[in-house]
Structure 1
Amino acid sequence: MIDLFFETATLVAAVGCGLVAGILLAFSISVLPGLATLPVPDAIAAMQRFNAAILNPVFLVLFVGTALNCTAATVLAVFGENGRTASVGAGAALYVVGCFVVTVAFNVRLNDALAAVDPASPAGADMWQRFTANWTLWNTVRILASTAACVVLILGQGRSTPG
């Protein structure tokens, strides 16, 4: 019975990782390039609105729920008899550390700093240059980590052979 819960949690975690990776990728390949075509004050104001809008129940359940499912899948792997603890633990760590922790430690702080700036001020223009370079770097880390987590968790669903 624990293996059924394990397989379900791992599958849900993998799907969540893939969905989060897609959301993050959309920002890097469409939102930020689109903002780059705007005057800086307009780009800042738009990104401030995007950052506020993303904090909605659907995204938060997906983002936090995926971290919880990754953790649950790892715990269930430890207590199950499936022999997949290492692969599922690696996938979970990729998401939790490479996406969730990076978001909290870097992207949220950058978003908060951008939220505090007046888009039309000279400080806003300076902030925007630093913001886009740093935010994009850390967003790329999140994309790669959540995509890799999805792949590793999918592979972790495979049947192990008795050893």
Structure 2
Amino acid sequence: MRALADIPGPQGMLAMQRINLRIINPLFVLLFLGTPVCCLVLAFVAIQSLDSPGSLTTLLGAACYLIGPFGITMLKNVPLNNRLAAAELSDTDTVWADYQIRWQRWNHIRTWIGIVSMALLAAGMQRFG
């Protein structure tokens, strides 16, 4: 995003609109939707075995992923991307700056929650799995 912010607004906005179009492909969809399904399965198994070592850590890691990387993406970043997709280049001054601030904020939050999620899942699965 910082690189896109360094170029003139209309070009940065157009580039991000193109990125958002290109990212939707079968592999991305499989990974994007498959990971929360795996986390739901892990959470279900962990709940069924709460007395097992690592099960609570696994459950917390799965929940963090579902709230952070997946939840924030669906509730915050996707709507921002949709708003950007609907914008005209003539709206650059009003849309692009706001988009960058909000998108980066939520991206940083989901990234940090994702890191916590990975650490919890790794620690939990080492003991639980």
Q: Same fold (TM over 0.5)?
A: yes
Match of residue 93 from structure 1? 63
What percentage of residue pairs aligned between the two structures are identical?
A: 33
Greater share of helix: 2
TM-aligned CA deviation for residue 85 of structure 1: 2.5
Secondary structure of the 1:83 match is coil
Match of residue 36 from structure 2? 67
Q: Partners in 2 of 1:131 and 1:142 — Cα distance?
A: 16
8 Å CA contact 2:43–2:63 kept in 1: the answer is: no
Match of residue 123 from structure 2? 155
Change (3 A) 1:93 1:68: same
Secondary structure of the 1:157 match is helix
Match of 1:143 among 111, 118, 126: 111
Report whether the alignment pairs 1:132 with 2:100. Answer: yes
Match of residue 87 from structure 2? 117
8 Å CA contact 1:91–1:149 kept in 2: the answer is: yes
Secondary structure of the 2:126 match is coil
8 Å CA contact 1:67–1:100 kept in 2: the answer is: yes
TM-aligned CA deviation for residue 158 of structure 1: 2.7
**CA RMSD across the alignment:** 1.4
TM-aligned CA deviation for residue 84 of structure 1: 2.6
Number of positions where the alignment pairs a residue of Structure 1 with one of Structure 2 = 127
Secondary structure of the 1:82 match is coil
Q: Partners in 2 of 1:88 and 1:47 — Cα distance?
A: 35
Secondary structure of the 1:36 match is helix
Residue type of the alignment partner of 1:66: T
Report whether the alignment pairs 1:57 with 2:26. Answer: yes
- Unpaired segments ≥5 residues, structure 1: 1-31
Q: Partners in 1 of 2:72 and 2:125 — Cα distance?
A: 26
Report whether the alignment pairs 1:33 with 2:11. Answer: no
Residue type of the alignment partner of 2:60: A
Q: Partners in 2 of 1:141 and 1:58 — Cα distance?
A: 24
* TM, length-normalised to structure 1: 0.73
* TM, length-normalised to structure 2: 0.91
Match of residue 11 from structure 1? none
After superposition, what is the alpha-carbon deviation per residue over 1:106-163, rounded to whole angstroms, capped at 9, x for unaligned?
10110011111112x1x22210010000000000111111111111000002336xxx
- Unpaired segments ≥5 residues, structure 2: none
